[in-house]
Amino acid sequence: MLATLRVRDLVLIEDVELEFLSGLNVLTGETGAGKSILLDALGLATGARAGARSSVRPGCSQASAAAIFDLPPKHVSRKLIEESGLPSLDEAFLRRTIAADGRTRAFVNDEPVGVGLLRDIGALLVEIHGQTDDRGLFDPATHRRLLDAFGGYEELVIEVAERFRSLQSTRDRLGGLHQSAQKAAQELEFLRHTAEELSELAPATGEEERLASERALLMDASRITEDFNAAIECLGGDQGAETLLSAALKRLSRQSSETRVIGASAARALEQAIALVEEARQELQRVFSRLEVDAGELDRKEERLFALRAAARKYGVPADALAGVLQEATRKLEIAGGNASVLLGAEKEFAAAELRYRTAAQELSERRKEAATDLERAVADELGPLKLGHARFRVLLEELPEADAAASGLERVIFEVSTVEGAAFGALSKIASGGELARFSLALKVALSEASPPASLVFDEVDRGVGGAVADAVGERLQRLSRSTQVLLVTHAPQVAARAERHFRIVRKRDRTEVQLLAEADRVEEIARMLSGAVVTEEARAAARRLLAEAQTPLKKLRKRA
């Protein structure tokens, strides 16, 4: 609720501070005293546009308006404040300054912010209903939420939103598959040719490198064969190492026994050398036999290598990526027509999601129709006592085109009114006059008192142009509304002022406005003034006491029950 309003150097106000209570708070005073300036100051502090009555007091460099709100633990404004990186407190301190040249600055919890953020936070904390109102209840963007809260089927609203998100997800997936299929269909001939050509080629990863290596080996095979053959001849030919070593060993073996003993070490070395030379010769022969390949092998490997490289150039990829090109072409062919099972599955999934959404959304539509009828009836019950008997209120459920179905359901919700018998319905803010507008907002707020989010409600002369029983009806409804929501209002009706739990009198003294918090005795005098005018009589005081006693009876009963 709004706890404190501080205003400094704004128009006629030098420096005032108002502390409010929960329940009904009223501001009274003579015309021109500055009551509406205080409401403008509250609007300024909560992000409203600076209007003609938001000018700086003459002789001052700037004006300021600050509003302090007590925040319940789970109030929706806390989340917005935290998400905006602002200090999270048990109070919301909204402040606005306006310089003499019209420039303004905004602050939340003493941190500078943009006016847009100030307005968004302020909208969650207070609703101001004045003579020209197009916000709050009269903003069509709020009507669906208000109707749903009034109907009490929020869980169904959440379910519809969740099913719509699921529908969107399956629609996006199906759209992607259709797009891929359409693109693949356009490329079908190319894809078929690609798949056939690469399937026949059957490229393998690493094949190009292997073929290039083998080709290089085969191209050099002649020289390598000659060298290996010469090496074998050096080891095992008539004049080869093996023959010469054997001859040397034979000569040593022909010596006498004494000489053989002396040359035994040399003989053993020759035997080892002969064995090693023979092993080397045999290994060279094995390699030489591997080099003796089919004469057409080099041609075949070159042909395969050149085919791989030609395909790589054609498809603009490395040779090792050709297998991936084949796989992708095959996949696209399956989507395009060869195998549409994935697409068919996605279509079935989408149809099921659409059915789930439509079922829940149609149920929501039926619940909204019932709630709309109940709300129209509830508002109609309030219009007669408020001297709006010829007015008619309706909740228009405008069906959306099928393609525009949304997370919020299948229809747009619009509150409309006709204030003259037989006249067409239209937007309330455009059809109703100033006094009718304020009283209509009161009727709607009373009807929606359990559904509208907790906020401070401000009314500017909701009783304008009425008196007697109608003013009393206005006061009774404001008092009833204040049981669940803090209400502030500017009033000229004594029947309304008598029902307040806190009463401020606004007085203009020369060139400045003062605010007085009235005690019980002072309230009697103020209400008597409102009843009788400039000269306050004893009869007026007696009538004021009677009004106060009658008005406070419902509050005493309410406190006793609490």
195-226: pLDDT as tens digits: 888 888 888 888 888 888 878 877 777 677 77
And the tokens for 543?
């009538």
pLDDT higher than 70, residue 429: no
| Region 148-159 average pLDDT | 92
| Region 226-239 average pLDDT | 81
Tokens 């929960």 belong to 22
pLDDT band (50, 70, 90) for residue 134: very low
Please give the Cα distance from 291 to 234 (Å, whole number). 19
Instruction: Encode burial over 279-307: b for 16+ CB neighbours within 10 A, e otherwise.
Output: ebbeebeeebeeeeeeeeebeebbebbee
Please give the Cα distance from 145 to 136 (Å, whole number). 12
Please give the Cα distance from 556 to 249 (Å, whole number). 137
pLDDT at residue 559, rounded to an integer: 47
Return the H-helix or E-strand segment holding 219. Answer: helix 207-219
Tokens 């092993």 belong to 279
| Whole-number Cα distances in Å, 401 to 167, 223, 405, 406, 412 | 17, 83, 7, 10, 10
| Region 132-143 average pLDDT | 67
Long-range contacts of 318-324 (CB under 8 A, 24+ apart): 319/203, 319/207, 319/208, 320/205, 320/206, 320/208, 322/198, 322/201, 322/203, 323/198, 323/203, 323/204, 323/205
**Which of these, 499, 431, 427, 428, lies nearest to 463 by C-alpha position?**
499
CB neighbour list of residue 182: distance below 8 Å, 6 or more residues apart? none
Please give the Cα distance from 321 to 205 (Å, whole number). 7
Instruction: Give percent above pLDDT 70 in the chain.
Output: 91
pLDDT higher than 60, residue 36: yes
pLDDT band (50, 70, 90) for residue 9: very high
Contact 472, 495 (CB under 8 A): yes
What are the DSSP E strand ranges found in 42-187?
Answer: 62-70, 91-99, 104-108, 111-113, 126-129
Return the H-helix or E-strand segment holding 401. Answer: none
pTM for this model (two decimals): 0.64
| Region 373-387 average pLDDT | 89
pLDDT higher than 70, residue 293: no
Q: Provide the Cα torsion 175, 181, 186, 187; round to 10°.
A: 130
**Residue type (1 letter), 115:** V
How far the first Cα of the chain sits from its last, in Å, is 19
Q: How many CB atoms lie within 10 A of CB 234?
A: 16
pLDDT at residue 336, rounded to an integer: 64
Q: What is the per-residue DSSP string for 498-558?
A: TT-SEEEEEEEETTEEEEEE--HHHHHHHHHHHHH-SSPPHHHHHHHHHHHHHHHHHHHHH
pLDDT band (50, 70, 90) for residue 278: confident
- Summary mean pLDDT of the chain: 85
3-state secondary structure of 454: coil
- Residue 293: phi and psi, rounded to 5, are -100, 170
pLDDT at residue 560, rounded to an integer: 46
